[in-house]
Amino acid sequence: MTKNDIKILKPFGPTIAKVKIPKEILDKLNFWCEKKILNHDEINELSIGHKLAGNVTQEFILDSDIIKTSGFLNFLLSACMKWVELTENKKISKFNVLSSWIVRQFKNEYNPIHYHRGHISGVGYLKVPKDFGTTVQKGKKNFNGNISFIHGSRNFNCLSNFEVKPQLGDFYIFPNYMMHTVYPFYKDIEERRSISFNAVIDESIYDPYSN
């Protein structure tokens, strides 16, 4: 039997979409973020760290205006529509962003294993350290600063996690129920800045038991 005699199928498990945030949107989001950081009263009002899982320096909500005017909303809609079309062969007619927020992570901070609400979630990277530091033991695989997506259990021919090293502008879209975690990193001062969202779509598409 040759490699031409066999076809590898992947019919099980959720998929993850990877897209790139356009630079114009990336710049607008970072500019808005920097202005908010300098305004302590305003940033405190937007703070939602107490509602989220992360053990990080700062987590704050994006207001609906910047989500729209930056182009981020249209970017999310377009990417999610294409993902659902390619994976489900269906077109969504409803897309409602429940929330979107910024996470500012620095040295030694982390985000424990968690999942999101809604139907569709995602995370992208607005600022990334030049490097995430070295491992304590030489020769070990370096997971510093990575996000790890987790689903199911490790078994023969079946991985349970997918490791991603953040790159500036990369954006990942996934089902809300997909567990994930972010590892700490060990570089002074440098910031790992991410943006996330939760959204709902047509219940008839999200619900696997719907007719």
Residue 65 one-letter amino acid? D
pTM confidence score:
0.94
User: Structural domain boundaries of the chain?
Assistant: 14-203
161 C-beta neighbours (distance < 10 Å), count: 13
**Token digits for 18?**
């990877």
Q: Which H or E element spans position 34?
A: helix 23-38
Model confidence over 36-85: pLDDT tens digits? 999 989 999 999 999 999 999 999 999 999 999 999 999 999 999 999 99
Model confidence over 154-179: pLDDT tens digits? 999 888 999 999 999 999 999 999 99
Q: What pLDDT sits at residue 210?
A: 81
Contacts of 132 by beta carbon, 8 Å cutoff, 6+ apart: 142, 144, 145, 146, 185, 186, 187, 192
Q: Which H or E element spans position 209?
A: none
Is residue 193 within 8 Å of 127, Cβ to Cβ?
A: yes
Q: What pLDDT sits at residue 1?
A: 64
Instruction: Specify the CATH number for 14-203; select among 1.10.3720.10, 3.40.50.2300, 2.60.120.620, 3.40.640.10.
Output: 2.60.120.620
Q: Where are the alpha helices (DSSP H) in the chain?
A: 23-38, 40-46, 64-69, 72-88, 203-206
Average pLDDT over residues 88-115: 97
